[in-house]
Structure 1
């Protein structure tokens, strides 16, 4: 139980690091005339992602489920992989990455790194983490509730992002992007 608490705390610290990078990058984008979309869904996203961490811990501590070793280790592997994919996205987008939907007019969408393969790879990381993190300690209720709510949020978020990206000049390659 203590190891799971430490894991969730580490993911929480990773989120703080993301916010620092995001704030700096959002300012960079705005200084260059960046236009923000999706202000309406952003507060729900913040609450939902915070609830994932709180819910996973609360469920683990309150239910105290038996956790099969295979489940714990396989889900931990997916959590680590999702973090690696997230930071690959952040590194690939550089100053253009942030947690909001901000596009800088005139900059073509990024089509390198994981964006060569997927249009929204960061959201793959979010989906995998949303399932895997709670399941490291068999917090299946949190995993299910987050996944269902996140599916609705991502439908709105991806639609918003695609509309915003459509305002940019075309990119050569299979993927276009600016996801947070």
Structure 2
């Protein structure tokens, strides 16, 4: 019997489990598209769940019967770098799927929840800083690439990504 999957808002108690999910996901799924040195330098920062996201009410986790996160992601009105939001616009934040469940529709179901939440809040434009790996996933969800960017993780650590937008 297939496990029951529940998509719910993240809570502060999810912080460590989401960090574990991010580490599993990014280490496995990003490796084909990024140089080992880029991942070595960036992953220690990218795989730490943001405590603010666990409290915002618009970041979600898809959990199995045991409460284990199989996917996570959400949106905020503020940008990932903390810039103030604009009315009607939001930013997709820290999306990941467990590598054992990648390609099984879990990420799409999670993003449907994200879209519904954003729409209910009056957001009709979503921006996304996609990994190189996830660009096809986001394109399939209606995002259009705006161009390649390099995200400064910390001084001296840059991470290649694709700026995307969905209207």
TM-score by length of 1: 0.31
> TM-score, with normalisation over the residues of structure 2?
0.32
Higher relative contact order (CA 8 A, sep 6+): 1
Max radius of gyration: which structure?
1
Higher strand share: 2
Of Structure 1 and Structure 2, which has the larger fraction of its residues in helix? Answer: 1
